[in-house]
A and B are shown apart, each in its own frame.
Chain A
């Protein structure tokens, strides 16, 4: 059987493939979600408190998470290019 299929490579391709191929788009999605304006939550609290509390924490957190996610995706792409150069 092993001379027909390299099972060791196969499961690695499946697992790492899932991590990279499905995980990275998911991470990208998390980044997008963090960037999305919290319309409902902000709107609800905004109408009651018009004195505009600055809320520095949450306001910065979205772009920070998004930046982190996108940076990871970019790094993974860089690793992909590296692997093209060195493996093929």
Chain B
């Protein structure tokens, strides 16, 4: 049962993997369950602020909405979106790993991997997929817990990796065509009217993206918590998410969105392409339609991949618009790294928690996770990006240079 991967891992970390019962269900362990729920809500929060930029970055960059209003609108629509659909399935991992091998500790370790990757990429101002971070974490933890056979590699490739490669390309294509068409059609329209009109359109299309994000991503966390409750025995195998799970997940993602991931917003709105209102509307329309279409075909795409592809496309669709391919390249690297990196953290978290064992092990990981999160937050305070300097001139890095007066472009 021990795959090479797991035992090698166990040896390197210096843990004995000899104990047999690591797959047994921990039933009725309320401390562990509480930690998992808290961690899941924490992940949901990071998911919210990491992804605010997907919907609102372009509207903030073009001044269609003031930064604080933009995140408030997005936050509200995420909240509404989370309540729009109740078909919550406890299958974030369904088709990707053998779900009967998923224990509470695996879910917990996977969430830890997802959170750390989200925070690290947020610190660097890199938009990367929260869904991939979560999936990577869970897959990594499953690998550490049960070995390679527990992962459905075909499902992982067909449902996660290929869509991740294709979706930004499709969204980019749609946004390129849309941007080119929009500029061509409005060639004779006075600049002032055009700007005003498209800023209104931008708010509409960005709202659709926010709504879709709330529905898709809040449900992922609802699914995780429901999965944990089922693994714990608190819920029957095919139970639906209880009301408190839906409400708390909706609130967590909404609060996270309101916190505003300004670092990511800045990269998406200012770093990738210098965006005008018509490009912004074309980009967000492309994002909204690709996300909604794909989910109606049963694909749950990463909002981040789609939004980034769209923004790139809005740059290639307008003559003379400069796309900073170096920024795009850094993002691409982050995307490739997301699954393995979150997986590695998930696996390490699992190995540590399992090595120490029991509630003590999980609590240790929880404390380490909280310490890491605090550390990253404190580090971010040294080069703060806030609502007031999010639109400052792009000077090659996430943190605006100190010489640029805050809010110069507002």
The total number of A-B Cβ pairs within 8 Å is 139
Tell me if B271 counts as interface (CB < 8 A to partner A): no
CA distance A81 to B211 in the complex (A): 8
Render B166-191 as a binary contact track against A, CB cut-off 8 A, 1 for contact. 10001101110111011001101110
Q: Which residues of B contact A6 (CB under 8 A)?
A: 297
Q: Which residues of A contact B243 (CB under 8 A)?
A: none
Most central of A30, A37, A83, A84 by chain B CB within 10 Å: A84
Given the interface contacts A4-B162, A18-B177, A32-B198, does A25 sit within 8 Å of B295 by beta carbon? no
Tell me if A52 counts as interface (CB < 8 A to partner B): no
Given the interface contacts A18-B177, A22-B282, A26-B182, does A83 sit within 8 Å of B294 by beta carbon? no
Cβ-neighbour of A88 out of B157, B185, B278, B295 (below 8 A): B295
Tell me if B84 counts as interface (CB < 8 A to partner A): yes
A35 touches B181 (CB 8 A): no
- Chain B interface: which of A8-16, A43-51, A53-61? A8-16
B288 touches A21 (CB 8 A): yes
CA distance A24 to B166 in the complex (A): 22
Tell me if B154 counts as interface (CB < 8 A to partner A): yes
A35 touches B178 (CB 8 A): no
Tell me if B292 counts as interface (CB < 8 A to partner A): yes
A14 touches B173 (CB 8 A): yes
Q: Which residues of A contact B81 (CB under 8 A)?
A: 84
A10 touches B174 (CB 8 A): no
Q: Which residues of B contact A30 (CB under 8 A)?
A: 185
Given the interface contacts A5-B162, A17-B290, A33-B185, does A28 sit within 8 Å of B281 by beta carbon? yes
Cβ-neighbour of A36 out of B162, B188, B295 (below 8 A): B188
Tell me if B403 counts as interface (CB < 8 A to partner A): no
Interface size class of A (residues with CB under 8 A): 35 or more
A36 touches B158 (CB 8 A): no
Using CB atoms, name the residue of chain A closest to B205: A25
A21 touches B286 (CB 8 A): yes
Q: Which residues of A contact B174 (CB under 8 A)?
A: 14, 17-18, 21-22
Interface size class of B (residues with CB under 8 A): 35 or more
CA distance A61 to B247 in the complex (A): 49
B189 touches A33 (CB 8 A): yes
Q: Which residues of B contact A83 (CB under 8 A)?
A: 292, 296
Tell me if A39 counts as interface (CB < 8 A to partner B): yes
Q: Which residues of A contact B166 (CB under 8 A)?
A: 5, 10
Cβ-neighbour of B197 out of A21, A35, A80 (below 8 A): A35
Cβ-neighbour of B181 out of A3, A4, A22, A84 (below 8 A): A22
> Chain A's nearest CB lies how many Å from the CB of B96?
15
Tell me if A64 counts as interface (CB < 8 A to partner B): no
Tell me if B408 counts as interface (CB < 8 A to partner A): no
Using CB atoms, name the residue of chain A closest to B294: A13
Given the interface contacts A20-B289, A22-B282, A29-B182, does A3 sit within 8 Å of B295 by beta carbon? no
B285 touches A22 (CB 8 A): yes
B170 touches A13 (CB 8 A): yes
Given the interface contacts A39-B190, A80-B292, does A25 sit within 8 Å of B154 by beta carbon? no
A22 touches B190 (CB 8 A): no
CA distance A4 to B293 in the complex (A): 19
Q: Which residues of A contact B362 (CB under 8 A)?
A: none
Using CB atoms, name the residue of chain B closest to A10: B166
Chain B residues in the interface with A (C-beta under 8 A): 81, 84-85, 87, 154, 157-158, 162, 166, 170-171, 173-175, 177-179, 181-182, 185-186, 188-190, 193-194, 197-198, 201, 204-205, 208, 211-212, 215-216, 219, 278, 281-282, 285-290, 292-299
Chain A residues in the interface with B (C-beta under 8 A): 3-6, 9-10, 12-14, 16-18, 20-26, 28-33, 35-37, 39, 73, 77, 80-81, 83-85, 87-88
